Amino acid sequence: MTTQIADLSTERKAEIKEIVCDILELELDEVTDVSLFKEEHDADSLRTIEILASMERNFGLVLEQAELSRMVNLAGVYAVVAEAEGK
């Protein structure tokens, strides 16, 4: 998983973080790669679905809803996007 995260460019990670922070209504400096969306940022499941849909829309990806269980923090979102882009 970590090798796939490394495959994302700094610019792509910044884009993803900006999208996630916008959806969660947080400032960029409030979210780290490992801070948990639900537990630390009070995100509900609808926000996670919105993050998945935004990744699909913004990057032209098709993501399975099963990936939602991995998208608990930025590192998880990075991994899901990297894997989808690698296919």
Angstrom distances, CA of residue 30 to CA of 61, 68, 83: 27, 21, 26
Question: What is the reported pLDDT for 7?
Answer: 78
Question: What is the reported pLDDT for 87?
Answer: 61
Give the separation between CA 25 and CA 8, rounded to whole angstroms.
24
Question: What is the reported pLDDT for 5?
Answer: 47
Length of the chain: 87
Is the CB of residue 25 less than 8 Å from the CB of residue 16? no
Per residue of the chain (87 residues), give pLDDT as tens: 444 444 799 999 999 999 999 999 999 999 999 999 999 999 999 999 999 999 999 999 999 999 999 999 999 999 999 999 986
- Give the DSSP letter string of 10-50: HHHHHHHHHHHHHHHT--GGG--SS--HHHHH---HHHHHH
pTM over 0.85: yes
Give the separation between CA 84 and CA 44, rounded to whole angstroms.
24
Question: What is the reported pLDDT for 15?
Answer: 97
